[in-house]
Amino acid sequence: MLIFLDGVGIGPDNSEINPWLGARLPRLRAMLGGQLPTLAEPQCTGGRALLVPADATLGLPGLPQSGTGQTALLTGVNAAALFGRHFGPWVPTPLRALLAERNLLVRALGAGKSAAFANAHHTTEPGKRPAAPTLAAHAAGLLVHGAEALWGGGAVASSITSEMWQRFAADVRVPDVSPRDAGRTLARIAGRVDLTLFAHYDTDLAGHRRGWHGCVAALERVDAFLGGVLELLPDDTLVVIASDHGNLEDTRAGHTRNPVPVVAVGPRRAMIAERVTAITDVAPAILHLMEIE
């Protein structure tokens, strides 16, 4: 399972500006043996999970952005270099064919594996300015879950809970879902297929708003969600948590050039940690684990 968290980097060892250090994150701390990453100590190896820092700058100047960063994360291709610069928030048109052909969902299906995009989506079309996970799922024929899937436990809202659906799609009735219950749903989905992708974007949104309390709340929601995932996760399932660029970890500014955390929980987690030094290594490492080259 790949859980994508938008805009989460590794921040400074300063609790006044780094929400990681001010948030209550009991599940994440337990996973990492009581540690949390900082720029001073970016690697955590003491618990049931391994966390390694991954470069998101990809050898280019400027601030990493979501469009090229997410494409690089899901394909293993240096999309920013190919495009000539970092670009976002949506995937630039010249990179969409690459993403459609080489994303890990499409490659898994092409190798005879089963796959799922766990997000509920308001339409089966990606829209004019799509995020990379949505484009990848559409190319794989997996952009299939609407609001009705939230009732049957067949999908998870991208915001984890259903508050955003209730606020912006008032004509669509959806159930109240806690972060823990959403995580448990994701674990059940992952138990039915070989590869599962879930994408969460509110962490980046909180970072752009630069409010301390909003950033802390976003992290605590993710923490409770991960707790639910781990409660029902099959023993043979590896979870990889990764981001596309920094933002949330420093409330003084928006996007950063900081490394992003890549967390591996479960069997063969050491293999993921050993192979990942940049966000372009994540998809190849997962495909290698699935014996897809």
Of 110-114, 169-173, 211-215, the range with the lowest mean pLDDT is: 169-173
Please give the model's pTM, rounded to 2 decimal places: 0.97
Compute the average pLDDT of residues 149-153.
Answer: 89
For residue 31, the model assigns a pLDDT of 95
Residue type, 240: V
Query: Per-residue confidence at 86, pLDDT binned at 50, 70, 90?
Result: very high
Across residues 10-39, what is the average pLDDT? Answer: 96
For residue 232, what are the β-bridge partners? Answer: none
| Average pLDDT for 229-255 | 95
Q: Which domains does the chain have, with CATH numbers?
A: 2-289 (3.40.720.10)
| pLDDT value at residue 170 | 65
pLDDT tens-digit series, residues 257-283: 999 999 999 999 999 999 999 999 999
Average pLDDT (164-187) is 86
Mean pLDDT of 217-226: 98
* pLDDT value at residue 124: 73
| Predicted confidence (pLDDT) at residue 163 exceeds the cutoff of 90 | no
Q: Closest Cα partner for 156 from 116, 183, 122, 195?
A: 183
**CA–CA separation, 293 and 283 (whole Å):** 11
Q: Prior bond to 133 cis, omega within 30?
A: no
> Is it the case that residue 227 has pLDDT exceeding 90?
yes
Whether 91 contacts 72, CB under 8 Å? no
Tens digit of each residue's pLDDT (9 = 90 or more) over 111-150: 999 999 999 988 777 778 889 999 999 999 999 998 889 9
Contact criterion met (CB below 8 Å) for 69 and 279: yes
What is the mean pLDDT of the segment spanning 236-260?
A: 96
- CA 15 vs. chain centroid, Å, equals 24
